[in-house]
Homo-oligomer: A and B are copies of this chain.
Amino acid sequence: MFAEIITIGDEILIGQIVDTNSAWMGIELNKVGVKVKQITSISDDAEHIVSALDEAQKRADIILITGGLGPTKDDITKHTLSKYFNMPLRLDEETLAHVKLFFEKLNRPMIDVNIKQAEVPDGCTVIKNQNGTAPCMWFEHNGKIIVSMPGVPFEMKYLMQDEIIPRIQQRFQMPFIVHQTILTAGLGESFLAQEIADIEDALPSHIKLAYLPKLGLVRLRLSATGSDEPALLAEVAFYTKKIVERVEKFVVLTEDVPFEKAILNLMGKHGLTLSLAESCTGGYISHLFTQHSGSSAVFQGGAVTYSNALKQTVLGVKEETLVTFGAVSEQTAKEMALGAVNNFKTDYAIAVTGVAGPDGGTAEKPVGTVWIAVASKAEVNAKMYKFASQRLQNIERAAMAALMMLFVQLKQDLKGG
């Protein structure tokens, strides 16, 4: 089963926005056994939309179109689809009621162009967009499925997850796909591959192993495809166990949740609380935790101490420590972490202090030098990392390393306790 993603809109072509939608869709479609054959980004141009649609149908069974559905004139997708499928536009009463309600809730007046959002090609299946005013439109054409949806990520994601993917699964006889993720840390992709080469070679042809490296971690994903779900589950469990046993000390998780969510789950289960003392990561680790609903049961808060003054007043780092060892040092990282545990009254705290770059590096502490400390009420440990020269990448890598250090400490403490 092949899909093609068509994104409509000049924003992507002129580089104003990075197309993150397609990657997300690729992941979700893969999970249910739909392979993305091509991603095509085109302009808001009727002729171009038509030729992209024609070409896509030669390659794919399912064509997913995002974008080009806003209320203004630069959006011509709906008119083009109406002509393409020879379905004149009609006013959809249900969509109109939804749009009206949407504006009522926002307490804003509706104007003509908003009413036009309720027009749909007569003959398509209209799928309600719970998170916006532009409806999602589902067409069936010569045995192919063509779906047009808004490009706004949270509108698209909801529609894909709750509406489109379930309908695709219902419409086609999809095989079962069973995925199992093994998150590893501490071993590079090629070394990991070497360690488990014989297991990989012995996998039956309906089970694939993928290596998904990201920010110093490697996620292994086993995917089994077939018609007998219980058998697939058993097979995947068998090979997962084999791999986990082989590279045990590098295995972090076998759940398919973000790393920080797994930490929240683990700490929540044991009634433990966490606080943060962030310097060079500047709030990014806090954001990682707090993007998850329910994080407040574990995460109490923290300090973003960009200046040395705040490291002293909020976290109690000694002036002497900052003068003698500098802000980026083992001593400062440890005092930050201990300050967080004590001042914020949590069971654990992470502290991160480093040179994110591109400026601020010295010969002794070049850009990319980061000290991370993890403190509990019983102890504090710190470790130095050397990342590269890209600021955002350094922030992300430092965050991952910090999560890893906390996770290892938790595992050790909980095993001992």
Chain A residues engaging chain B, CB cutoff 8 angstroms = 10-20, 22-28, 30, 35-43, 48, 52, 55, 59, 70-74, 108, 111, 113-114, 131, 154, 188-191, 193-194, 200, 209-213, 219, 221, 275-276, 278, 281-287, 289-291, 293-296, 299-307, 309-310, 313-314, 343-345, 356-359, 388, 390-393, 395
Total copies of the chain: 2
How near does chain B come to A285, taking the closest CB pair, in angstroms? 7
Chain B residue at minimal CB-CB distance from A393: B154
A-B contact pairs, 5 of them (CB 8 A): A111-B194, A113-B193, A282-B291, A283-B286, A301-B306
**Would you call B23 and A17 a contact (CB within 8 A)?**
yes
From known contacts A296-B306, A303-B302, infer whether A26 and B38 are also in contact, taking CB-CB under 8 Å: no
Bound state CA distance, A74 and B289, in angstroms?
A: 32
Bound state CA distance, A286 and B285, in angstroms?
A: 10
**Would you call A42 and B36 a contact (CB within 8 A)?**
no
| Residues in B neighbouring A301, C-beta threshold 8 A | 303-307, 310, 314
| Residues in B neighbouring A10, C-beta threshold 8 A | 210
| Residues in B neighbouring A37, C-beta threshold 8 A | 13, 42-43, 48
**Would you call B293 and A282 a contact (CB within 8 A)?**
no
**Would you call B282 and A286 a contact (CB within 8 A)?**
yes
| Residues in B neighbouring A343, C-beta threshold 8 A | 313-314
Chain B residue at minimal CB-CB distance from A209: B74
From known contacts A303-B303, A390-B131, infer whether A395 and B38 are also in contact, taking CB-CB under 8 Å: no
Bound state CA distance, A154 and B291, in angstroms?
A: 23
**Would you call A395 and B291 a contact (CB within 8 A)?**
yes
- The residue that A359 contacts in the complex, of B11, B24, B30, B293, with Cβ under 8 A, is B293
3 nearest A-B residue pairs (beta carbon): A282-B290, A283-B286, A15-B26
How near does chain B come to A136, taking the closest CB pair, in angstroms? 17
From known contacts A38-B13, A310-B300, infer whether A70 and B213 are also in contact, taking CB-CB under 8 Å: yes
Chain B residue at minimal CB-CB distance from A310: B301
| Residues in B neighbouring A59, C-beta threshold 8 A | 48
Bound state CA distance, A191 and B72, in angstroms?
A: 9
| Residues in B neighbouring A24, C-beta threshold 8 A | 15
Bound state CA distance, A19 and B39, in angstroms?
A: 11
**Would you call A287 and B284 a contact (CB within 8 A)?**
yes
**Would you call B15 and A18 a contact (CB within 8 A)?**
no
**Would you call A193 and B72 a contact (CB within 8 A)?**
yes
- Which of A200, A213, A290, A395 lies at the interface centre, i.e. has the most chain B CB atoms within 10 A of its CB? A290
Bound state CA distance, A287 and B306, in angstroms?
A: 11
**Would you call B11 and A15 a contact (CB within 8 A)?**
no
| Residues in B neighbouring A71, C-beta threshold 8 A | 189-190, 193
How near does chain B come to A46, taking the closest CB pair, in angstroms? 14
From known contacts A111-B190, A113-B193, infer whether A15 and B23 are also in contact, taking CB-CB under 8 Å: yes
Bound state CA distance, A191 and B114, in angstroms?
A: 10
How near does chain B come to A396, taking the closest CB pair, in angstroms? 9
**Would you call A287 and B287 a contact (CB within 8 A)?**
yes
How near does chain B come to A399, taking the closest CB pair, in angstroms? 10
| Residues in B neighbouring A302, C-beta threshold 8 A | 283, 303-304
**Would you call A18 and B16 a contact (CB within 8 A)?**
no
**Would you call A19 and B22 a contact (CB within 8 A)?**
yes
**Would you call A27 and B14 a contact (CB within 8 A)?**
yes
| Residues in B neighbouring A294, C-beta threshold 8 A | 359
| Residues in B neighbouring A305, C-beta threshold 8 A | 301
**Would you call A287 and B293 a contact (CB within 8 A)?**
no
Bound state CA distance, A212 and B12, in angstroms?
A: 11
